[in-house]
Structure 1
Amino acid sequence: MNNLVSPGGVEISRIEVVETPAPHACLTPRGRHRVSLFRRHPLARWVCGLGIVAFLVIAAMGADVLERGFEQPPPETRPWVYWFWLNGNITSNGITADLEAMQRVGIGGVLIMEVDQGIPVGPVDFMGKSWRALFQHVVAEARRLGLSVNMNNDAGWNGSGGPWIRPEQSMQKVVWSETNIAGGGRFEGTLAQPETVAGFYRDIAVMAVPTPGSYRIASIRAKALYETAYVGGIARDKLPAEMVIERNRIVTLTPKMDRAGRLAWDVPAGQWTILRFGHTSTGLENAPAPKTGRGLECDKLSREGIEANFTGMMEHLAADNRVKPGRSQLGLIATHIDSWENGAQNWTARMLEEFRKRRGYDLLTFLPVITGRVVDSLEVSERFLWDLRQTVSELVVENYAGRMRELAKANGLRFTVEAYGGPCDNLPYGGRADEPMGEFWSPSGAMETCKGMASCGHVYGKPIVGAESFTAGNQERWREYPASLKALGDHAFCEGINRFVFHRFALQPWPEERLPGMTMGPWGQHYERTETWWDQTPAWHDYLARCQFLLRQGRFVADICYLQSETPPQGFGDHPRRGYDWDECPAEVVLTRMTVKDHRLSLPDGLSYRVLVLPQTETMTPRLLRKIKQLAEDGATIIGAPPKYSPSLSGYPQCDEEVRTLAAQIWGTCDGAKVTERSLGQGSVVWRAEPEKVLLRAGVLPDFASDEPLGHIHRIVGDTDQYFVANPTPRRVATTASFRVTGRVPELWWPESGRRERARLYEPQAGLTSVALMLEPSGSVFVVFRAKLVKEEPVVSVSLDGKVLVSARPSPRPHVQVVKAIYGVPNDPPRTRDVREKVQALVDAGEDSFQVAHLADGDDPAPNMLKTLTVDYTIGTTVHSVKAQDPFVIHLTPETLNVKVEKARYGVLSDPLRTRDVRAKVQRLVDAGESSFTVARMAEGDDPAVLVVKTLELEYTRNGEHVSTQGTDPDTIDLKAPVFEQAPRVVELRNDATGHPHLLAFQPGLYHLVTSTSKQREYKVGSLPTPIEIGGPWQVHFSPDLGAPPSVAFESLVSWTARPETGVKYFSGAATYTKTFVLPREFLARGRRVFLDLGRVEVMAQLKLNGKDLGTLWKPPFRIEITGAARHGENNLEVRAVNLWPNRLIGDEQLPEDSDRNPDGSLRSWPGWLAEGKRSPAGRIAFTTWRLWKRTDALLESGLLGPVTVTSASEIDL
C-alpha cells in the first residue's frame, strides 16, 4: 500500500488516533491527520494493539483526504513567492503590507533574498541590528498570518558566503608558478609565489619535471575544475614521448624549499621545469548582494566551510526567532541555497587525505596534470582528472549540501536547494536536501531543471519538488498575467513540480502607494501587490493550490529509469516521453537504494520501474557494473550495451579487465546484431534498444495516450490512480485519452473550480480505460480512478445530426504507407540513402513522429554533415509530403496542412536591426508536419533581441485560404486555427448537484448517444432562443487617482487605447462596465440553462449580475453560467475589467522627467519628492525604480472587447 503524503510533504506511515468530534479526516495546521477512528470503527481499540491500524485508517480516510484537500486546499499547498528585498530599502510597514497582501490572495509562503540590482542604497545594513529586528517582525507577522518563511542562506541569490567568511574558509583553487632551468649544475634561487587572492596562500608541494613539449590536455580548465562545464569521455590518444612526463622522473623538492620560497637543488642533466604548487582563495563572492552583505564564498569541499557560513547568519536568525528542532511551525521554517553561479573549486585543506581515502592513491605526483601537462600517458592523465572531479563532486555533496541539511535540521529548519550548475553531479547534490528545486523561465527555458529535480525528488524520496517559477528577463515588463502563465505552469506540473515559488515579489517599502513601485532590477515576473490584477488572483492561486495538493499525494508512476553516466559533473539528460514516463538516477541510487521486487527496480519509498536503461558510454566503474549484474540476476530488465573500460585510475589497469569480465558475464553472446537479448538469472539483458519498444513487446501498454498532444503526469495514492492532463494549446480541444487503468470508474476533478464529477463518456478496453475529454484553451483536469467498476453502460460517443462531436473511443490509427523516403545531402547521390523501409518500420512500430537524425544510426550517408529527409506517404487515398533536416522532428500524420508561408517577421518589429525574416524557418516547421509551435522557437539559433519580448507577424495560405496572425514569445501559434478563433460550443456532458448525468445541447438537432454495449439513444432538441448580443451604450467607471475620468460612456465595446480621452487611452488599472439588458422569458424556460460570454477580455474580469457575485474570470473562455442569477426582463450586469501596467507607463513617458535616471532606466538616486511622500511634480501617475517602456512603444489592447452574448442550452436528463 502506498503512503499518503500530507500537504506539507509528511509521509503518513503512522497515524495518531485521537477522539475528535470531526466525522471525517482533516488536516491540522501542523499537517497531522486526526481521525475519529474510535467513533467510526468500534473495533479499532482492539486492532490497534495488533499494529495494523494504519492500514485501516488509510483505507477509511484516503478518499476524504483527497476530496477535502482538493476542494479546500490546506495552507501548506499554496504557492510561494521569491520575496526580494532591495539593497537595504526595508520598512516594517512595507513588510506587513506585503505579507497581508500575499495572505489575502492565497500566497502561502516566501523565500527571502536581499539583492542590490541597481536600486539606490537604503538605510538598513544586511544582518545589522535593525535588519535582524525587521526579520523578527517578518517571522512574527508570518506566524500571525499563517505564512511560511524560507530564508536564503546569504545575501544575493547564489552560493553561500558573506563578510563572516575568512579567506582560509573560502573556496580554494590550485595555483602554481613555473621556473624553467637547465640541468647539470646547482640551482639556488627563490621560486615565485603563485597567484595569491584575498591575501591568502598556502603551499602544497614543489616538484621538478623534465620539461615536456608544448602539448596540453584539451579543455583542461573544465577537466581540472577551474570552471564548470560538461566534460566528455576519456581521451586515449597516443602522444609522442617528448610530450609526456614519466611519473618516475618527477622529483619532489618540497623539503628543499624554505618558508621564503628559497630553493637549493643539484639539478640533473637536461631541461627541467620547477613547479611550485599552492592553493589560494578563488576570490568569488556571494552576489548580487548589497555591499554590507557581500563577502567571500565559503569552501564547498569541507564541512568547516558551510559551518562558518551557517554560524555567521542562519544560526543567529534561528535563535532570534526561537526556532525549535523537531517542531513543524509557521514563520521561519527553512533555509535555502539557490542555483550555483559561483564558479568551481578544486582544492580544500584536507584534499590530499580525502583523495587518498576515496581513490586509493596519492594525487601529489599527478599535480602537473592540473597544469595541462601529460603524466605517463594521456589516458592515465585523463583518468586522474576523472578521479579529481569525482572526488570534488563527492565532497560538495557530502560536506556542503549534506552538512547544510544537518545544520538546518539541528536548528529546526528544512533545507531547499536548486541543485545544478556546480562542480558536482546534480542529482546526488539535490538528494541531500529536504526539497530539491528546479526553475523555469517565461516564455521558455530551463524546463530541463524541473524534470531533473523531479527525478531527484523521486529517486531520493523527496515528496515536494519546488521550482523558481516564471522567471523572466527584462522582456516581461509587466506584460504577463495568470492566463498568460498557465500553460507554462501546467507544463512544469507535468514535469513533476509540485510547489511553485513565483519569481518574483519585490518588497514595497513605502507607507503610501507607489505604483507599480519597487522592482528587482528589470528581472522576473512583476508579481507584487502593486500589480493591476493582484486582487483578482485568488482564483488562480486556488487553482495552483488544488494542483499542488494532489500532485504531492502518493507516488509518481514511471516505467523507465535512465541511469546517468559516471561523468562528473553530471547534469540532466533529455529523453522522449512516448506514452511511458521516466526518471533519471545517478550511480549512487543504483548502488545504495535500488533493489528488485517482482521484476521491478524498486526504491525504498515505494517507487519502482520496469526497465533500467544504461547510458551510451564506453566506461563504467566495476562497482557499478557489479550492481547492474546483481539487479539483472535478481529479475530486472537491463537495456544497454556493454562498457569496455573503467573511467578511473583507481586499480588501473586491473579495473579494465574486471569491467570486461563482468560485461562478458552480463551480455554473454548478446552482440546487438545476431543476438539482441538474453536471460540472466531471473532477469534479462537487452542490447541497446528503445525502451518503449521493449516494454511494448513485453505486453506493457503506454501509460497514457491521446489523440491530441496533451501534457500529463500520473501518480498513485493507495488504490487511487490520478492523472493530471493539460491542454498546451490556445484552442479548445475535444479528444480521447487512454489511461493504463482497468476496473475502475474515471472521475473528472476540475482544479479551476474544485468541481468533481463522474466521467460520463468513457469506455473500458483491454488493459486501458479511454475517456473523452473536452478541454478549454490551456485547460486542465485531473482524471481520477477510485471506485470499482460496477455493471453500467457508459456513453462512448455523442453525435449531432450524424456527425460525431465527442467520443471515448480513440481514433483508429490511420495506416501510413510510405511511398518514398530519401535521406542525405540533397542532389548528392553518393551521400544519400533510400530509407523507405526504415521509415516504414518506424511507422509500423507506432512512431509517427521521430527525430530525423535517428536515421543515421547504423548507416550515416554523410557523417558530420547536415542531412535532409523527404518523405512521401499516403493515408487512405490522400498523398502527403513532409521534409525536415537532422535537428528537427518530422511528423507523418493525417493532419498535414497545405500551408505556404508568405511572410514571417520576428523581433522588435518597429526596429529593423532587431527584426528577422523567419519565413524559411516557419516553412521548415510546417514542412516537417508541425501545425503548432511557440513563438519563442523563432529565436533558436538567432535571437534578434536578447532578453526582449519579440513578436511574430505571420501571413500564410492554409488550404488555399489566406490567413494572417501574430503573437509574442509566450504565445502558441496554431496553424489549424488563428489566435482568438474558437470552434462553437455544441455539447457538454455534466452532472447535477446530486451526481445525476445531463447533456447540455447548445444547438438544435438530433443528438445520438451510443453506450459501451452499443445501445443507442436519441434526443431531439428543437429550436433554441437566438443568442443575444449585449450592445452599447455601456457606462464605464474608472478607478480613481490613476489618470482617467471617473466615468465614460462607451457606445460600443472598444479597447481603451482606441478612446480619444488621454486618461483612458493610457489608463492602467480596473474599470467597471455597467449595463442593463433584457432577457426574454424563453431563455429561462424549464430545461434551459443560460450562459454569459464576455468574448475577448484584456486581461481579467470580475462579474456581478443582479447584485450576485459570480466570481473572477481569469482566463479564456470568459464564459459563465448565469441560470441561477439571471431573471426574465431587466438584468443589471457589472463587469470589472483590469488591464496591464504598460499603457500607463508609456503614457507617463509623454510627460517631463521627475527623477535622475541612468540610460537604462534605473534610478541614480531616490528623488526628494518620493522621500517626502509627495506626488510626482511632473504629473506622472506611476512610479517605478526601473523604467522599461518608452514613449513610442505600442499600447496594449485593454478592457472588455466583447462581443458580450447571452446564450442558452437545452438540458437533457440522461
Structure 2
Amino acid sequence: MKLKALLAASLLACLAASGQDVHQFKDPSDDYRPWIFWDWINDMVTKKGITSDLEQFKKFGLSGTLIMLVGSETNDRQMWSDHHMPNPIISQTPAFFDAWKFAAQESARVGLTISSQCGPGWCHSGGPWVKPDQAVQHIAYTETKIAGTDRTVTLRVDDQPVGKAKAFHSAFSIDDLPVEVRIDLEQAVPVDAIYLHPFDNNDKKRFGMPAAFNITVAGKEDFSDSVTYTLRTGDAVPALFLKKNNKKIQHIRITTAGNYSVLREGKTQYLLALEEIVVMSGGRNVARNAAVHTSGSIEAFGYSAGAINDGFGMTLFNRVNDNTYILLRPGFDYYTSDIAIVAFPDKTQVSPAEVIDLTSKVQQGTITWKAPAGNWVIRRYAMRNALAYNRPPPVGGKGLECDKLDKLAVNAMFDSMVGRFIRESPQLAGNTIRAFEADSWEVGNPEWTVHFREEFIKRRGYDPAPWLITYKSDRVLGNEDLGKRFANDLYLTQTDLFAENFFSNLSGKADSLGMQFMTEPYTAPFDPVRMAGRVQVPMCEFWVSTERMHTARWAASAANTYGRKEVAAEAYTGRWNDGNWKMDPYAIKRVGDLAFCNGVNKMVLHGTALQPWGMDQKPGMNMFFWGTMFVPAQTWLQSGRAWTNYLSRCQYMLQQGRNVADVVGLLPTLDWEYTMPMGLHKKYNYDLVSEELLLNKMDVKDGYFTLPSGAKYRVLLLPETKGKMAPEMLRRIGYLLRKGGTIVCRDKPYHAPGLLNYQQNDSLVRQLTDELWGRMDGSTIVENKVGAGRLIWMKEVWKDEFDAERDYFLQTRTKGWEFWEEPAMTTRWSPAFMKLLKSVTPPDVEVLHASGKAMGWGGFPETAAGVRQGEDAVAWTHRLLGNTDIYFVSSQVATEQQAELMFRVKDKIPVIWDPETGKQYRCKEWAQEGDRIRVKIPFTPFGAVFILFQPAGNLPAGLYGMPEIKDSMPLNLAWDVRFPEGYGAPSQARLTAGSWSDSKEFGIKYFSGTATYQANINCTKKQLQSGVILSLGTVKNLAEVIINGSVVDTLWKPPYQSDISDFLRPGENSITLKITNTWWNRMVGDEQLPADLEWRENLRYAGNDFKGYELKEFPAWVWTNETRPSSKRVTFTPWRFVEKDSELLPAGLIGPVKLLFYER
C-alpha cells in the first residue's frame, strides 16, 4: 500500500477550518516565501543579467534577494579576474551604485524585495571607505628596560612606528616545504637585533606555532657570505640579538626549523608563521622600507591577517645612551593612537602600587623621569589598526573592517554603502529595499576603541590602564587571579559596546527606515543570543553536509526570548562534495526540515551568482565551490517552484503563535561556548536566554518562568559557572526561586568575576550561595527548597553518545574530511534530568514507534547508513496559536514509515495539514490517553506534516479518513519523448521507463535538462468510479504531471504519486510528463568531448576530497554568445567538479509506472 495514495485521496473532501488560514497555507503570500543570496562576483555585473536573474527568481517562487558582493576566495588573488568582460562594473564606483539602483527598480517591477549585506565580502561590515582611525583596533605596546639608580632618565616618545603595513602575512605549509620569507633592506647596515612576531597561538582558533625559525643573514644578494642562526620561539616576540661589530647585512631569509605544532584547516596541516618582522640597527627599524617577499600567505588558507592577530608587544633594542631611551610608537604607521605609558619593576609579579602612570609626564615628545633604584620596564600602550579586512571582497571592494565598538565608525560604515543605496532610491526604502545584513563574524576581535578608557571607567568603576600590563603578557599584577578578573571586565566592556554601538545602533537605523537588520552573530567573543536579540531578524546558517544546528538554536532562542517573529537562515550552504550540481530539492529536504524543527522559519537560499550573460550560458556562474546551486539556469529551477511552495507553507505555519519549550538555559555573556547543549531536542524543547533578559525581564508565574515576549518555561538550567557568578545574578536567581521556579545548577559558585571590590563581592557571593545552596554538596544532597521553588544540583544534564549512523556518514560521504570536524555523536538529556522533567511535566512529544533507513542526502544511496529508530527517526517543533497547538513533525528517514507519537495535548482533535500539497485531512488513527493524545502518522520518505490540535467545536464537517488502495494496474508504456534543442540530445526518441544514463545513445546517456514524455491510456467508466492515482515509481529528479492538457502538479520527492481522478475521462486519455534531472550527467558528457577551456589545479583537493578546478581565463565566446570551439559541448561554468570518468547519476522516468485505484 502506498502511503502517498492514501494521503492524496483523502484530501479531496477536505474543508477549511479557517478560510483565511487555509488560503494562506495553500498559496502563501510573499511575506512567507524564501529569499536567496544573490552573489555579485567581482565586477561581472550587467543590467541584462540583473533583469534576467530577477525574472527567474520570481518564477522560482521567491520573494526577495539578499545581495552579497564577493570576489577573491583566497584574498591573495582575485579569483576569475581574467574574465575579459566588456565594460565591467567595479564595486563602489558610480556605475556600481547605478547598477544597484537599477536592481532595486527591477525588483519592484517584478515583485521582489531586495536587501544587501553591510559591505563587500561575505563578512563582515567594512569596505574601502573605512578610514584607519575608524577601523577595528587592537591593543599594542612597545617597551624598554632601564636600570634605575635613583637618577633622572629621558624617554623619547618617538613617533616612528615599530612596523609598517607590508606583506609580512606569511605562512609555511607543511605539505609544501621549504617556504621562506625574504627581506631585502635598502642598504647594507650593521644589524643589532631581528624580532619576529608570530601569529598568536590561540587554542580556540587551532592555530599552530613553529618551535623554531632559521634566520639566514647575508651581505650579498646570492647569500654566498651567509650565516644561519636558529631562533627559538618560546618568547611572545622572539628576538635574535647579533654580536656587536658584526658585518653589514642587507639580505635576510627566514624559514622554519622543524619541531612545530600545526594549524588545522580540515585534515590539511599548516605551519603558521609571521605577522611582522623588525630589523633594528642603531635604534631604527630598518625593515620599515625593506622589500619583503613571501612564498605563502595565511590569507590563502581563508584567514585575513587581522582575523588571526590579537595584539602584541615588543621589547626593543632602543637605548641611545645610559640616560636616554626611545619609546617607539606601537603598531604600524597605518594608524596608532596612544592609550597610556606606564612603568613597573622588571619582575614577573608586580604589586598594583608599584605601577606608575607616566602618561601625564609627556612634554613635547619626551618624558623626564627620576627612576627609582632597580630594574624597570617602561611600556607604551596604544590602540592600533588591526588590519582586519573584509573578506572575500570583489574588485574595488576590499577595505578595512569598521570599528564595531564605536557608534560613529559604525554610522560611517553604514552611510557609505547601504545608506547610499537608500538615499538614491528613497521611495523604495522599507518596501522593495527591505533589509541589510551582517554575516557571521570571521574577521578577528576588536579590543579597544576611542573613549574605551572612559567607557570602561564608567561601567566597571576603575581605570584599566595600570592593569594592561597583565593583558596577554607574562606579567602578574598582584596575583594571577586579579589579572583574570581584569580580563573579565575588559571583555565585558568590549561586549557591551559591541551590543550597543553595533547591533542596537544598526537596529535603530533599520527601525527609522521601516527596514530590518539581520545578522548571524556568532564566531565572535560575544553571547550570540544577546546580540541576535538586539536585531529585527536573528539569523543562522545550516549546511547540507552536517546536522549541526547550533547556530539555529541561538537565533531561534533570541527570537523566542526577545519577541521576534522571524528566524532567518543562510540555508543549504554546500561545498565541493555536496553543492556540486548533483543536488535536487529532495536531496536537501531532510536537513531543511531539521532546521525548521530547530526554530528556523525564513529560508534565505545559499545561493546563486549573478549571471552577467543572462540565460545565454548554462548553467553559468556560481560562487566558486560554495553553496547549493540555485542559479537561474539550474535544470530544475522552474519546476522547483513546487518545492519553494512547500517551504513557504512551512514558513507561514512556523511564524504563527509562539514557540513552546519546557527548558530554558542561561547562556553566559562571556565564556558562553560549550556551556549549553547545542543540538539537543528530544522529548522536551528548549531555548537559551541571555543574562540581560534573566536579570531584567524574567519572572515566575504559576510555576512558569516567563518573559515579556510570551515565552514560558518550566525549568531553568544554569551553566557550569567554573566557580564564578556575579552577586546580582545570584540575587536574581534567589528571587526566581522564592517565587516558585525550578532551577537546575551544575556546580556552586564561590567568587565574583570582576575586579572592583572583589574581596567584598567574593564574600557576598559565598553568603548568597550558602543561602541558596544550603546543605547541597552535589553528591549526597542534591536539592534545596528555597521559598516556593527548588534548586537542584545535577552534574550531568546531557550527554553525548556515539552515533553509528553519523559515523558512517562522515567516513563514507566526506571520505574522512569533515568540514566542521564534528564527532560522530548524538546528544541526549541525561536520565537524571529526564526524570526531573517528567516529574514537572510529561514530555511534549514522545516517539512510541518510528523506524526507517537513514540517508545523509535524499536519493544518494552511498549515504545510506543503517536504520534510525525512535526519537532519532523523527524531528519536531511545537507552537501555540490561541487555543490551537501546532506541531511540525518531520520524518528523518529515507523510507516510508508508520510513526506513532504521543503529544502533550488533551480534549482536542488532530488535523493534518500537508505542506507538500497545501491540503488538510483528519488523522485516521488517534486516541486520547489520559492527558495526552496518541497519533499514528503515515510518512513518505523524508516526509513532514503539520498536526493541528483544535477543540472539537472548531472543526468543520466533511473531513474524511484515509481510504484503502483496492487495486492497481501497471502501465508498461512506450513513451514518445521530446528533448529540447541545444542540449545535445536527439529531438525525439521512443523510450520505455528506465534511466537515461543506461542509454547507448550519447545524447540521451549524458542528457541534462527537461524531457517531455507522452503516452495515451484508456480508462473505462467502471475504473473511473474509483479514485485514480498515477504512481511513477522512481523519478530522477522532478516530474510535472499533465493529464489531457491540464497541469495536475509537480512531483519532487518520493513516492512520486499524483491523484489524477478529476482529470481523467472515459476512453482515451493523454498523459504528459515533463521529467527533469540535474546538470551532472551532461557535465560528465562534455568531458568526453574536445576541451576548449583551461583550468587551474591549485585548489583541486582539500585533504583527500576532490574540490574541482578553477577556470583560468574566461573565453571571449561567453560574452558574445558565439559558437564555442568545441561546438558539441553544452555546459559552461567557471568551476568544474567533474572528471571524464566521473560516475553518472540515474536520470529520467525509471518507474515502474502504474495506476492505483481507491474507493471514493
**TM interval, short-chain normalised:** 0.7 to 0.9
Higher relative contact order (CA 8 A, sep 6+): 2
Does residue 736 (structure 1) correspond to residue 912 (structure 2)? The answer is: no
Pick one of 105, 123, 132 that aligns with 1:140.
105
- Over 3 Å counting, the alpha-carbon distance change for 1:195 and 1:668 in structure 2 is same
Query: What's 2:947 paired with?
Result: 783
Pick one of 341, 361, 364 that aligns with 1:206.
341
1:104-123 alpha-carbon deviations (Å, 9 max, x no partner): 22101111111114998961
Q: CA deviation at 1:556?
A: 0.1
Separation of aligned partners in 2, 1:678 and 1:332: 55
Separation of aligned partners in 2, 1:690 and 1:393: 35
Does residue 1083 (structure 1) correspond to residue 1038 (structure 2)? The answer is: no
Equivalent pair of 1:467/1:501 in contact (CA under 8 Å): yes
Equivalent pair of 1:508/1:518 in contact (CA under 8 Å): yes
- Over 3 Å counting, the alpha-carbon distance change for 1:566 and 1:1208 in structure 2 is closer
Pick one of 695, 698, 702 that aligns with 2:840.
698
Equivalent pair of 1:598/1:635 in contact (CA under 8 Å): yes
- Over 3 Å counting, the alpha-carbon distance change for 1:121 and 1:690 in structure 2 is farther
State, as a whole percentage, how many aligned pairs show the same letter: 33
Separation of aligned partners in 1, 2:918 and 2:467: 63
Pick one of 46, 52, 70 that aligns with 1:97.
52
Does residue 1152 (structure 1) correspond to residue 1083 (structure 2)? The answer is: no
Equivalent pair of 2:965/2:1159 in contact (CA under 8 Å): no
Equivalent pair of 2:34/2:604 in contact (CA under 8 Å): yes
Query: What's 1:553 paired with?
Result: 656
Separation of aligned partners in 2, 1:553 and 1:1080: 46
Amino acid at match of 1:555: R
Equivalent pair of 2:984/2:1130 in contact (CA under 8 Å): no
Separation of aligned partners in 1, 2:845 and 2:364: 68
Does residue 477 (structure 1) correspond to residue 580 (structure 2)? The answer is: yes
Q: CA deviation at 1:787?
A: 2.7
Q: CA deviation at 1:207?
A: 1.7
Q: CA deviation at 1:555?
A: 0.3
Q: CA deviation at 1:101?
A: 1.1
Partner SS state of residue 876, structure 2: strand
Query: What's 1:639 paired with?
Result: 744
Does residue 995 (structure 1) correspond to residue 958 (structure 2)? The answer is: yes
Partner SS state of residue 1048, structure 1: strand
- Over 3 Å counting, the alpha-carbon distance change for 1:338 and 1:645 in structure 2 is same
Query: What's 2:91 paired with?
Result: 126
- Over 3 Å counting, the alpha-carbon distance change for 1:779 and 1:144 in structure 2 is same
Does residue 714 (structure 1) correspond to residue 863 (structure 2)? The answer is: no
Query: What's 1:630 paired with?
Result: 735
Q: CA deviation at 1:565?
A: 3.2
TM-score, normalised relative to structure 2: 0.74
Partner SS state of residue 1162, structure 1: strand
Query: What's 1:1040 paired with?
Result: 981
Query: What's 1:508 paired with?
Result: 611
- Over 3 Å counting, the alpha-carbon distance change for 1:94 and 1:706 in structure 2 is farther
Query: What's 2:1120 paired with?
Result: 1172
- Over 3 Å counting, the alpha-carbon distance change for 1:678 and 1:579 in structure 2 is same
Pick one of 427, 432, 447 that aligns with 2:549.
447
Q: Tell me, which stretches of 5 or more residues in structure 2 are unaligned?
A: 1-15, 73-82, 150-319, 795-830, 851-872, 1098-1107
1:580-634 alpha-carbon deviations (Å, 9 max, x no partner): 1100112111012211222211110211111111112221111111111111112
1:139-174 alpha-carbon deviations (Å, 9 max, x no partner): 222222221111111111112111211111111001
Pick one of 662, 684, 707 that aligns with 2:790.
684
Q: How does 1:849-864 map to 2 (within 5 A)?
A: none
Amino acid at match of 2:987: P
Partner SS state of residue 288, structure 1: coil
Does residue 160 (structure 1) correspond to residue 160 (structure 2)? The answer is: no
Amino acid at match of 1:349: V
Equivalent pair of 1:1146/1:1189 in contact (CA under 8 Å): no
Equivalent pair of 1:612/1:639 in contact (CA under 8 Å): yes
Does residue 648 (structure 1) correspond to residue 751 (structure 2)? The answer is: no
Q: CA deviation at 1:704?
A: 4.3
- Over 3 Å counting, the alpha-carbon distance change for 1:572 and 1:656 in structure 2 is closer
Does residue 528 (structure 1) correspond to residue 631 (structure 2)? The answer is: yes
Amino acid at match of 1:1041: G
Query: What's 1:421 paired with?
Result: 523
Query: What's 2:998 paired with?
Result: 1058
Separation of aligned partners in 2, 1:717 and 1:999: 27
Query: What's 1:824 paired with?
Result: none
Equivalent pair of 1:555/1:606 in contact (CA under 8 Å): yes
Equivalent pair of 1:1037/1:1072 in contact (CA under 8 Å): yes
Pick one of 396, 412, 434 that aligns with 1:333.
434
Q: CA deviation at 1:996?
A: 4.7
Q: CA deviation at 1:183?
A: 2.9
Q: CA deviation at 1:1210?
A: 4.2
Separation of aligned partners in 2, 1:315 and 1:1067: 47
Query: What's 1:1189 paired with?
Result: 1137
Query: What's 2:568 paired with?
Result: 466
Pick one of 713, 736, 743 that aligns with 1:609.
713
Q: CA deviation at 1:279?
A: 1.3
Equivalent pair of 1:1094/1:1200 in contact (CA under 8 Å): no
Pick one of 396, 401, 404 that aligns with 1:300.
404
Separation of aligned partners in 2, 1:555 and 1:65: 19
- Over 3 Å counting, the alpha-carbon distance change for 1:276 and 1:677 in structure 2 is same
Separation of aligned partners in 1, 2:998 and 2:983: 18
Q: CA deviation at 1:298?
A: 0.7
Q: CA deviation at 1:130?
A: 1.8
Pick one of 523, 532, 537 that aligns with 1:435.
537
Q: CA deviation at 1:762?
A: 1.1
Separation of aligned partners in 2, 1:741 and 1:195: 65
Q: How does 1:221-620 map to 2 (within 5 A)?
A: 243-258=348-363, 260=365, 262-323=366-427, 329-372=430-473, 373-444=475-546, 446-475=548-577, 476-511=579-614, 513-568=616-671, 570=673, 573-574=676-677, 576-617=680-721, 618-620=723-725
Equivalent pair of 1:390/1:568 in contact (CA under 8 Å): no
- Over 3 Å counting, the alpha-carbon distance change for 1:120 and 1:431 in structure 2 is farther
- Over 3 Å counting, the alpha-carbon distance change for 1:107 and 1:156 in structure 2 is same
- Over 3 Å counting, the alpha-carbon distance change for 1:395 and 1:706 in structure 2 is farther
- Over 3 Å counting, the alpha-carbon distance change for 1:1164 and 1:353 in structure 2 is same
Separation of aligned partners in 2, 1:417 and 1:197: 31
1:877-925 alpha-carbon deviations (Å, 9 max, x no partner): xxxxxxxxxxxxxxxxxxxxxxxxxxxxxxxxxxxxxxxxxxxxxxxxx
Partner SS state of residue 517, structure 1: coil
Equivalent pair of 1:386/1:568 in contact (CA under 8 Å): no
Q: CA deviation at 1:660?
A: 1.1
Separation of aligned partners in 2, 1:171 and 1:154: 15
Separation of aligned partners in 1, 2:974 and 2:111: 46
Query: What's 1:1121 paired with?
Result: 1059
Partner SS state of residue 1062, structure 2: coil
Equivalent pair of 2:1084/2:1144 in contact (CA under 8 Å): no
Amino acid at match of 1:201: T
Q: CA deviation at 1:570?
A: 4.8
Separation of aligned partners in 1, 2:137 and 2:1142: 51
Q: When the two structures are aligned, how many residues end up with a matched partner?
A: 892
Query: What's 2:859 paired with?
Result: none
Amino acid at match of 1:614: L
1:168-201 alpha-carbon deviations (Å, 9 max, x no partner): 1111001111223333299633434244336211
Equivalent pair of 1:323/1:412 in contact (CA under 8 Å): no
Query: What's 2:1032 paired with?
Result: 1094
Amino acid at match of 1:191: I
Amino acid at match of 2:1048: L
Does residue 765 (structure 1) correspond to residue 935 (structure 2)? The answer is: no
- Over 3 Å counting, the alpha-carbon distance change for 1:96 and 1:568 in structure 2 is same
Separation of aligned partners in 1, 2:1139 and 2:375: 69
Separation of aligned partners in 2, 1:754 and 1:133: 41
Q: CA deviation at 1:125?
A: 2.1
Q: CA deviation at 1:651?
A: 2.1
Q: Tell me, which stretches of 5 or more residues in structure 1 are unaligned?
A: 1-60, 213-242, 791-991, 1004-1025
